[in-house]
Amino acid sequence: MTKKSALEMLHRVKDGSLSPEDAVLKLKMSPFEDIGYAKIDRHRELRQGASEVIYGQGKTPEQIAGIVQAMRKQSGQNILITRMSAEAAGLLKEIPQFEYHPLPRVGMVKQQPPCVKGGKIVVATGGTSDMPVAEETALTAEFLGNDVVRLYDVGVAGLHRLLGNLDVIMQASVVVAIAGMEGALASVIGGLVDCPVIAVPTSIGYGANFGGLSALLSMLNSCASGVSVVNIDNGFGAGYQASMINHMNC
């Protein structure tokens, strides 16, 4: 159930076209739908402002397709699938509104255009190798109704690349800094801007990077104020958090 549908139901109770008893029955029936291998949270958007997101990793293509088909029953609901395989995407290609982005492994069913509001979210990466995580971040934020600016390959190894885009990052409402190796990008950006910075460590790097652990620890120990950190390679979490911050005053 969406906020819009809940309000419509309450207005129907108010004007007498729906009885309070029937409204209570609809509310009792709609919290979640049990399809055996998944329980779809129908009230997620009502509680949190965004519908449930499907995490594709570990699910079979058939399970993902089944969850998507069940979620599509809700009128006009947009659906986001993260960590989705190309095989799973192939089962949904007949849905007219479906699109698949292979680099970040993100699938979307867009049944209605997002309402874009708030300021700009800047997604910046240390290197080109961080783009899969960055695209997961950017696509998530755009899916949730945000204007996103991408700044890729602006890491500290060539600081002039970042400084050449100061006007862009200083106009942002939120900056997401994505980097592997030593993860220094978040601290540098945090020392330049007056908005929240969300740091995303990636698993990009040589052996002592420990699969992103060195970047994570560097970001957690940032001396710049206003920097928060999400988990390694968690582009979705960063995009979602950035959207929440960007929409707070809307």
Asked whether residue 25 carries a pLDDT value surpassing 90, the answer given is: no
- At 213, is the pLDDT very low, low, confident or very high (cuts 50, 70, 90)? very high
Please report the pLDDT score of residue 178 as a whole number.
97
Please report the pLDDT score of residue 43 as a whole number.
66
- At 76, is the pLDDT very low, low, confident or very high (cuts 50, 70, 90)? low
The CATH number linked to 192 is 3.40.50.1970
pLDDT digits (tens, 9 = 90+) for 112-164: 777 788 899 999 999 999 999 999 999 999 999 999 999 999 999 899 999 99
pLDDT digits (tens, 9 = 90+) for 96-117: 889 999 999 999 998 777 778 8
Q: Total structural domains in the chain?
A: 3
Please report the pLDDT score of residue 97 as a whole number.
87
Angle between helices 20-29 and 3-15 (to 10 degrees): 160
Asked whether residue 220 carries a pLDDT value surpassing 80, the answer given is: yes
- At 75, is the pLDDT very low, low, confident or very high (cuts 50, 70, 90)? low
- At 18, is the pLDDT very low, low, confident or very high (cuts 50, 70, 90)? confident
- State the Cα angle at 78 between 76 and 80, rounded to 5°: 165
Above pLDDT 70, what percent of the chain?
90
Q: Is residue 115 part of a domain?
A: no
The DSSP letter of residue 81 is E
- At 62, is the pLDDT very low, low, confident or very high (cuts 50, 70, 90)? very high
Do 12 and 41 sit in the same domain of this protein?
A: no
Do 68 and 100 sit in the same domain of this protein?
A: yes
Please report the pLDDT score of residue 185 as a whole number.
95
Last residue within a domain, chosen from 86, 109, 132:
109
Q: Is residue 114 part of a domain?
A: no
Helices (runs of H) and strands (runs of E) counted in the chain = 11, 11
Q: Is residue 23 part of a domain?
A: yes
Please report the pLDDT score of residue 152 as a whole number.
96
Do 48 and 20 sit in the same domain of this protein?
A: no
Q: Are 27 and 71 in contact (CB under 8 A)?
A: no
Question: Average pLDDT, whole number, for the chain?
Answer: 88
Query: In this structure, what are the phi and psi dihedrals at residue 204, rounded to the nearest 5 degrees?
Result: -80, 130
Do 13 and 84 sit in the same domain of this protein?
A: no
Q: Would the pTM count as exceeding 0.75?
A: yes
Q: Is residue 5 part of a domain?
A: yes
The DSSP letter of residue 141 is H
pLDDT digits (tens, 9 = 90+) for 26-35: 666 567 666 7
Do 174 and 232 sit in the same domain of this protein?
A: yes
Asked whether residue 193 carries a pLDDT value surpassing 70, the answer given is: yes
- CA 144 to chain CA centroid, Å, is 7
Question: Is the dihedral angle over the CA atoms 55, 60, 61, 63 positive or is it negative?
Answer: negative
Query: In this structure, what are the phi and psi dihedrals at residue 127, rounded to the nearest 5 degrees?
Result: -145, 170
Do 169 and 87 sit in the same domain of this protein?
A: no
Do 42 and 13 sit in the same domain of this protein?
A: no
Domain carrying residue 21: 1-30
Do 124 and 231 sit in the same domain of this protein?
A: yes
Region 48-66: what's the mean pLDDT? 87
Please report the pLDDT score of residue 2 as a whole number.
62
Report the side by side order of strands in the sheet with 98-101.
54-55, 79-82, 106-109, 98-101
Q: Is residue 227 part of a domain?
A: yes
Do 41 and 3 sit in the same domain of this protein?
A: no
Q: Are 53 and 236 in contact (CB under 8 A)?
A: yes
Please report the pLDDT score of residue 161 as a whole number.
92
